[in-house]
Chain A
């Protein structure tokens, strides 16, 4: 039972963190619960479909179907996160202004919840399909399935607990800082995803350059440890990064910074005036 709990928790940890960050970043958006629920629901549905066609996907593209799918899902999430941060850079300032005057609900409704709902959906989809396959194995074996099933449900519950902790942890940050904090968190999240995506392309045999290991910090901060896992999702920590992973990470951060810079209207308007 404990084994199943650990496996399921490990798989849902990343999605749990991402949902917590998204909820904190969208504080005050009226329909955000509906959007996030929609994202989780569609992600779970997609996870089921992917699990169902696991064999077909695995065999596609000369055995690289799974890696290409993972890379694609991660890349899509990165683009959505970029869109969100660019949008926030454009409208975040007026929102802060309005929060102090008319209240936060008015402009908040226009925020790109679709982008973040997609990010949530993709996170659930990617990790969820592995949970579904694991559960399928549990059910198929039959032996002591009920105790494994209980463990899996507890693992899911623990993942939801991570969402709650992340959310309330971020909520404790004062409102005037929350924009910058979530913007930075989302940029780092995206950079980490980009580094993962290039590794999947490498594993798919699509890329065969800059695959050498840059450093090895697995001795003092192993990526499979709990702190390593948290940092892996939050800031993209990798204990043995390749050259290409570091480049993807830095390029994504640079694009995020550039988007934030160019999307901000107030700065250019002020410069022109």
Chain B
């Protein structure tokens, strides 16, 4: 029982070294995402490095991706997503939702 609990604990907190997360880059410039479309592998953990080149903060927001992350002006943020079922997942920059729009396509 104790060994089982320990194994569960290790499984929960062991860094995901076996399944190395794929990395993608995204830039926020003039309140727009570049690129506005990212194709990622389905059913895998994926890391997106978001670089905010604007002077103002932005919030990477997506209920579909379960992400809500503020990226301060002139700085970078790491967004971890997945595993995703194949499909289209929209995200926005909530502070400038009229221009900052993007989509993650899992396939």
Contacts and interface: CB of A to CB of B under 8 A. Distances in A.
Interface residues of A, number: 40
Interface in A234-251: 239-240, 242
A58 interface: yes
B77 A205 contact: no
Contacts of B19: 208
Interface string B54-88: 01111100011011011111011111101111000
B80 A66 contact: no
Contacts of A199: 66
A223 interface: yes
A64 B78 contact: yes
Contacts, number: 89
Contact of B70 (A62, A130, A224): A130
Contacts of A211: 45, 82-83
Residue among B14, B69, B76 with max Cβ neighbours from chain A (10 Å): B69
A134 interface: yes
Contact of A59 (B11, B45, B70, B75): B75
A219 to B, nearest CB: 12
Contact of A66 (B64, B70, B82): B70
Interface residues of B, number: 36
A209 to B, nearest CB: 5
A54 B57 CA distance: 9
A223 B57 CA distance: 24
Contacts of A222: 63
Contact of A203 (B12, B80, B84, B95): B80
Contact of B69 (A59, A66, A223, A240): A66
A140 B101 CA distance: 21
A213 B85 contact: yes
Contacts of B72: 54-55, 58, 133
B80 A202 contact: yes
Nearest to B98: A3
A1 B71 CA distance: 23
A136 interface: yes
A212 B75 contact: no
A207 interface: yes
A232 to B, nearest CB: 9
Interface of B: 11-16, 19, 45, 55-59, 63-64, 66-67, 69-73, 75-80, 82-85, 94-95, 97-98
Given A202-B80, A208-B12, 8 more contacts: A10-B94, A133-B57, A134-B94, A137-B57, A203-B69, A205-B80, A209-B12, A240-B63
28 contacts: A3-B97, A7-B94, A7-B95, A10-B94, A55-B72, A55-B75, A58-B72, A63-B77, A63-B78, A130-B59, A130-B70, A133-B70, A133-B95, A134-B94, A136-B57, A137-B73, A140-B73, A141-B56, A202-B66, A202-B80, A203-B66, A205-B80, A208-B12, A209-B11, A211-B45, A211-B83, A239-B63, A240-B63
